[in-house]
Amino acid sequence: MHHMSQNLAYSQTLILSDFSNTRTQMGALRLPSLTSIFAISSGRSSLFLRRSKQLHVRKLTSTTKIFAQSTPATEVAPPESNQKPLSQEQGITPRSQDFNAWYLDVISMAELADYGPVRGTMVIRPYGYAIWEAIQDYLNVKFKETGHSNMYFPQFIPYSFIEKEASHVEGFSPELALVTVGGGKELEEKLVVRPTSETIVNHMFTQWIHSYRDLPLMINQWANVTRWEMRTKPFIRTLEFLWQEGHTAHATLEEAEKEAMQMIDVYTKFSYEEAAIPVIPGRKSRVETFAGADKTYTIEAMMGDRKALQAGTSHNLGQNFSRAFGTQFADENGQRQHVWQTSWAISTRFVGGIIMTHGDDAGLMLPPRLASVQVVIVPIWKKANEKNEVLDAALSIKDVLHTAGIKVKLDDSDQRTPGWKFNFWEMKGVPLRIEIGPRDVSSKSVVVSRRDIPGKPGKVFGISMEPSVLIPYVKEKLEEIQLSLLEKATSFRDSNIVDVSSYDELKEAISQGKWARGPWVGSDEDELKVKEETGATIRCFPFEQPQGPKKCLMTGTPADEVAIFAKSY
């Protein structure tokens, strides 16, 4: 535990405190080294590739041809490009060989999503949608616990609304989808399909807020939003996506700031505890601040290819929208004042972040707390007379685990071999597999395999079927996997962040594909210069700052804060 970063220590405290309330206490961690995992993993991948040819799944086009096409010459993809013959089935491209192709393969073969008929749109399939539902289930409770109510605003916004807040229109107007015809008639005022809802929210808040007694007003909506993106990628950047957007109005700047910080903290906790993603929370630079916000807070995650993903944001909007829309309240002295506001969002992009953080050459790897199938049971028999007793035992184990609140699936299909099923459910990222054959039935025990430790090291034989043994064993393993995924991702992240003290060091780190962390008081122009010359942007000024005097890596003048630079999605 000596080399653990501050963030991981933080996250473990969170998790352990949570466990002590609601889950069984965990034993000590026994983690394999990263090298041993990857060595085994790549050793197995050839087996996987061979077997996976049998899988009846269609691959997405693994390059940018359809989805990420940069010129929207035609908005509707030709149907034939989406209808590949089954013979094109292949295994998953190795992650190290082509990260983007690997990502698209996992999405396709694990049946997470598919391309919609309109360029840049995505169909979220049941197995992918279940991840989003798990995210919703957790956040929805947290939002209500922190005093927010759900509601719903119309998605059509008069075009004139978008123009009211100057930086907002500048930020969003290039990405708008416009409805110009309704009911067969040309509309007098064209309508924007919401790219975000601050404008219509303020239009309504202005009608609902009269006095300080109406504050704070704290709401959230789960909705679809549309941004006409030119370069798209499933989950990460799609023309339409799903998200939640919180909107609040307060009587003071301090309250609004506290709320914006509270919500980025909710997102941070969610990322560490549920998604096992060691995000770095921090403040955006002025250049990267949301169009219409005074301050933007972000959680930045390192993907498997070491690019950064902005995984959630929380904005202190100041009085920008309340001034544009005249959202005022009478304070306790009867004085009219503009409200102070926040907004904050997490989207289906987060699903992409989970895939790109934990996945490996065998496919998806889901953190147990977000997995819709936590345990898959694969029964094994050779002779017909073995089948019944094996299936009976498997079914009874399924019932035992299900009753204990574990999300369990029994794959009892006749049409596939156990080997095929092993590969299939590994590709689907199911955290634990229980194997049961005739000899296990005789000894009243099962074999348990961990998805995150491939091959023999992750396999334990002879676990008793006895519910009093099996249930706590499975629960403990799931918790171990949950924490192990977080530890692995944290080690990976920390070994790929370089502390730099000069622009040359920054360029060197970025050119190696790493993140660079260094003191910064540069101007907006300096920041844009870094972007132009290295492709990296300031991801955030992290909340956790090193102590002591610092000098800006660019200007050499005294700096209060370090910033993190990285290439990003």
Considering only residues 238 to 277 of the shown chain, the ones binding its own copies according to CB under 8 A are 239-240, 242
Task: Answer left, alpha or beta for residue 462, where phi above 0 means left and psi between -120 and 50 means alpha.
Answer: left
Q: Which of 37, 134, 219, 436 touches its own copies (CB under 8 A)?
A: 219
DSSP one-letter string for 298-364: EEEEE-TTS-EEEEEEEEEEETHHHHHHT-EEE-TTS-EEE-EEEEEEEETHHHHHHHHHH-BTTB-
- Cβ closer to its own copies: 153 or 290? 153
* H or E element in which residue 22 lies: helix 6-22
* Pairwise CA distance, residues 179 & 197, whole Å: 16
Q: Rule CB under 8 A: which of 110-129 touch its own copies? A: 114, 116-118, 121-126, 128-129
Q: Which of 50, 210, 439, 456 touches its own copies (CB under 8 A)?
A: 210
φ and ψ at residue 296, rounded to 5 degrees:
-120, 125
Does 185 sit near its own copies (CB under 8 A)?
yes
Instruction: Report the DSSP beta bridge partners of residue 61.
Output: none
* Pairwise CA distance, residues 185 & 179, whole Å: 11
- Cβ closer to its own copies: 29 or 123? 123
Type of residue at 352: G
- Cβ closer to its own copies: 194 or 283? 194
First to last CA, the chain: 31
CB of 550 to its own copies, least distance (A): 42
Q: Which of 67, 161, 267, 321 touches its own copies (CB under 8 A)?
A: 161
Q: Which of 4, 31, 179, 460 touches its own copies (CB under 8 A)?
A: 179
- Cβ closer to its own copies: 5 or 62? 62
Does 183 sit near its own copies (CB under 8 A)?
yes
CB of 47 to its own copies, least distance (A): 25
Does 82 sit near its own copies (CB under 8 A)?
yes
CB of 165 to its own copies, least distance (A): 15
Site string for its own copies, 15-54 (x = CB under 8 A): ----------------------------------------
Q: Distances from the Cα of 214 to the Cαs of 206, 217, 338, in angstroms?
A: 11, 7, 13
* Pairwise CA distance, residues 445 & 178, whole Å: 61
Q: Which of 3, 73, 145, 332 touches its own copies (CB under 8 A)?
A: 73
Q: Which of 21, 25, 74, 333 touches its own copies (CB under 8 A)?
A: 74
Does 96 sit near its own copies (CB under 8 A)?
no
Q: Distances from the Cα of 241 to the Cαs of 16, 225, 454, in angstroms?
A: 34, 6, 34
* Pairwise CA distance, residues 267 & 261, whole Å: 10
Options 184-192, 270-278, 327-335, 422-430: segment touching its own copies (CB under 8 A):
184-192
Omega within 30 of 0 (cis) for the link into 216: yes
CB of 180 to its own copies, least distance (A): 5
- Cβ closer to its own copies: 40 or 66? 66
Taking residue 496's Cβ as centre, other Cβ atoms within 10 Å add up to 15
CA 164 and chain centroid, separation:
32
| 141 contacts: CB under 8 Å, gap ≥ 6 | none
Does 506 sit near its own copies (CB under 8 A)?
no
CB of 491 to its own copies, least distance (A): 34
Site string for its own copies, 292-331 (x = CB under 8 A): ----------------------------------------
- Cβ closer to its own copies: 164 or 551? 164
Q: Which of 37, 68, 109, 176 touches its own copies (CB under 8 A)?
A: 176
* Pairwise CA distance, residues 236 & 64, whole Å: 13
| 158 contacts: CB under 8 Å, gap ≥ 6 | 189, 191, 192
Q: Rule CB under 8 A: which of 412-471 touch its own copies? A: 415
Residues that bind its own copies (rule: CB under 8 A) add up to a total of 76
Q: Can you say whether the dihedral through the CA atoms of 449, 453, 455, 457 is positive or negative?
A: negative
Task: Answer left, alpha or beta for residue 276, where phi above 0 means left and psi between -120 and 50 means alpha.
Answer: left
CB of 428 to its own copies, least distance (A): 14
Does 167 sit near its own copies (CB under 8 A)?
no
Q: What ranges in 209-252 are assigned the alpha helix state H?
A: none
* Pairwise CA distance, residues 336 & 320, whole Å: 16
Options 27-35, 167-175, 470-478, 540-548: segment touching its own copies (CB under 8 A):
167-175
- Cβ closer to its own copies: 145 or 525? 145
CB of 203 to its own copies, least distance (A): 6
Does 83 sit near its own copies (CB under 8 A)?
yes
The tokens 């309504």 sit on which residue? 204
Pick from 309, 320, 324: nearest CA to 343: 320
Does 181 sit near its own copies (CB under 8 A)?
yes
Site string for its own copies, 365-404 (x = CB under 8 A): ----------------------------------------
- Cβ closer to its own copies: 323 or 459? 323
CB of 222 to its own copies, least distance (A): 9
- Cβ closer to its own copies: 27 or 79? 79
Does 66 sit near its own copies (CB under 8 A)?
no
Q: Which of 78, 174, 457, 556 touches its own copies (CB under 8 A)?
A: 174
Does 76 sit near its own copies (CB under 8 A)?
yes
Does 107 sit near its own copies (CB under 8 A)?
no
Q: Rule CB under 8 A: which of 329-348 touch its own copies? A: none
Type of residue at 9: A
φ and ψ at residue 274, rounded to 5 degrees:
-100, -45
Q: Which of 230, 287, 330, 471 touches its own copies (CB under 8 A)?
A: 230
Q: Can you say whether the dihedral through the CA atoms of 107, 112, 114, 118 is positive or negative?
A: negative
Does 145 sit near its own copies (CB under 8 A)?
no
Q: Distances from the Cα of 405 to the Cαs of 375, 448, 469, 550, in angstroms?
A: 11, 18, 15, 51
Specify the 3-state DSSP secondary structure of 383.
Answer: coil
Specify the 3-state DSSP secondary structure of 89.
Answer: coil
